[in-house]
Amino acid sequence: MKIDSAKIEALRELLAAPHRKIVLVAHTNPDGDAIGASTAWRDVLAAMGHEVTMIVPNKYPYFLDWMPDIREVVIFRFAPERALEAIRGADIVFCLDFNSLSRLEALSDALAENTAARRVLIDHHLSPDGGFDLQFSYPQSSSTCFLLYCIIEQLCGTEVITRKMAEALYVGMMTDTGNFSFSFLTPALYRALAVLVEKGIDVAGIHNSVYNGYTEDRARLFGYAIHRKMNIIQEGTAAYMSLTEAEMRRYRFQQGDSEGFVNYPLTIKKMKMSAMFLGHHKFIRVSLRSRGDVDVNLFARKYFDGGGHKNAAGGKSYVSMDETIAHYIRSVEEFAREGGLDTPPLR
């Protein structure tokens, strides 16, 4: 994937001055793509001689605990003063894997305190907000890690990518494509993967660490969600699951335990769209997935004040779980009447 050369030169100029204080921030509930991009980009910038701090709003999933240098990530919820000190002193702030400062939740107010820092967006979601001094916004990229790989390739050359960086980039590329099963699987992506493999990464080991590192409680929660909480509507073309705080506590829920649940209904032959509702103290987190031409980014924007990608999006609801589910069912019916579920038959 070709990156705008003028933007690459602007980035090169921004990083030309030595010993810049740089902060990398990623979105709330950071996933493999957010953490992979943060840790890989941190190493590139540190090799240039810059002082770099990685910050996320809350804890990353435990199945990423094995990743190199992940303990260097500052979690705002647990270390707010450390995060604030880094943000206040930053010369440059890189915003990785999100398109709006609202995705940072409580951290967004802290970021607003530093008005002097240059802000750079590196992201692959649709419709980014303004307010960035330099934007690398490429929705056609399968992941932020692939976009970052392309930036590194044009900025420095792939020879600067170490095995450790390659592992981090691979995690993001793998997790944001569902283990390379959807979302912009281009020849350029596979050429990038070949370069990462040539760096000596253990592909099977990385896959095992990410996808086979769950707890017994998570396995039982998954069984409960599928058996008791999965509901099929709209003549078998849409589905939803919900988990309340009480249900998650029953299975000793940890951050990341619901990863992938929303995708499972899409394994049903007729299914075109799936939703997952997770209850939190102040709101309900909405995750949406789809197949083919069903645009859940459009659905999320229209009905849940959210957004994302065509086949993967999300939002929030501030009413009860029952009201949220009723709203979803009505919205799916309206969406279907307007042709949102009218796609060629799935084979």
Query: pLDDT tens across 189-236, in order?
Result: 999 999 999 999 999 999 999 999 999 999 999 999 999 999 999 999
How many structural domains comprise the chain?
2
pTM of the model: 0.91
Record the tokens describing residue 214, joined without a space: 């769950």
179 vs 288: CA distance, rounded Å: 18
Instruction: Check whether residue 159 and residue 106 sit in a common domain.
Output: yes
Instruction: Check whether residue 246 and residue 181 sit in a common domain.
Output: no
With tokens 């209850």, the residue in question is 279
Instruction: Check whether residue 98 and residue 25 sit in a common domain.
Output: yes
Instruction: Check whether residue 79 and residue 164 sit in a common domain.
Output: yes
Instruction: Check whether residue 223 and residue 198 sit in a common domain.
Output: no
Sign of CA dihedral 83, 124, 171, 218: positive
Instruction: Check whether residue 201 and residue 287 sit in a common domain.
Output: no
With respect to residue 347, please indicate whether it lies within any of the assigned structural domains.
Answer: no
With respect to residue 346, please indicate whether it lies within any of the assigned structural domains.
Answer: no
pLDDT at 106 (0 to 100): 82
| Domain boundary residue, one of 191, 211, 231 | 211
Query: pLDDT tens across 27-66, in order?
Result: 999 999 999 999 999 999 999 999 999 999 999 999 999 9
Record the tokens describing residue 135, joined without a space: 């934007």
| Domain boundary residue, one of 177, 211, 245 | 211
Outline where DSSP puts E strands in 226-321: 231-233, 238-243, 273-279, 284-290, 307-308, 312-317
Q: How buried is 113 (Cβ within 10 angstroms: 0-12 exposed, 13-18 middle, 19+ buried)? A: exposed
Q: Which domain holds residue 300?
A: 216-337
pLDDT at 344 (0 to 100): 60
Instruction: Check whether residue 102 and residue 193 sit in a common domain.
Output: yes
Q: Is 307 helix (H, G, I), strand (E, B) or coil?
A: strand
Instruction: Check whether residue 18 and residue 140 sit in a common domain.
Output: yes
**Below-70 pLDDT ranges, the chain:** 343-347
pLDDT at 126 (0 to 100): 87
